Amino acid sequence: CRIGADGVWRLVAVLGDCKVLTHLNLGKNDIQDMGAGSFAYVLGKYKALAHLNFSRTGIGDSGAEILAEVLEHCTALAHLDLSANQISADGARNLVDVLEKCKALTYLNLSSNSIGGQGAGLLAEVLGECKKLSYLSLRKNQIGDRGAGQLAVVLGECMALTHLKLNSNNIGDEGL
């Protein structure tokens, strides 16, 4: 698919009144931050939304901020995939606020972004609150030793965690 920002407006018009939507996969589209802003207009209405895939959509920190503002209203959200975008530590900072409120979250994929050690540290502050989180992928995020160390402190509190992906993050012995 090659849905861009203009196509998102058309999709929003069609889905605007659909309040029972549970799964939404917009991955591999050229949505960008502008399209995320358009979609945010209706995203908050989907109280039953359990699965959201915005991977490879070209969103950056602004798009992450916009999504975070509306995702806090999606209390059933269990699966969130924002992988392969351009989200940095600033975008991670915005997502942290919503992760605390997503009590149903079981799957979080932020791989192939650039949250770095700072973003990993921010996530570490709230991961202990994600009691149902069983899958976490932060691979290819330039986390480094410092970020990995911050995550290591809190991962013991993540009792449901069964899958953890931290590969390709330049983590050495010091980060463990």
| pLDDT digits 0-9 by tens, 89-109 | 999 999 998 888 889 999 999
Considering only residues 129 and 41, tell me which one the structure prediction assigns the higher pLDDT: 129
pTM confidence score: 0.95
Per residue in 16-49, pLDDT (tens digit) is 778 789 999 999 999 999 999 888 878 888 889 9
Per residue in 136-174, pLDDT (tens digit) is 999 999 999 999 999 999 998 999 999 999 999 999 988
Distance CA 147, CA 14 (A): 42
Considering only residues 170 and 12, tell me which one the structure prediction assigns the higher pLDDT: 170
Looking at residue 41, its pLDDT comes to 78
Chain-centre distance of CA 80, in angstroms? 5
Contact 83, 109 (CB under 8 A): yes
Per-residue pLDDT band at 1 (split at 50, 70, 90): low
Which ranges in the chain belong to alpha helices (H)? 5-15, 32-43, 61-71, 89-99, 116-127, 144-155
Looking at residue 165, its pLDDT comes to 97
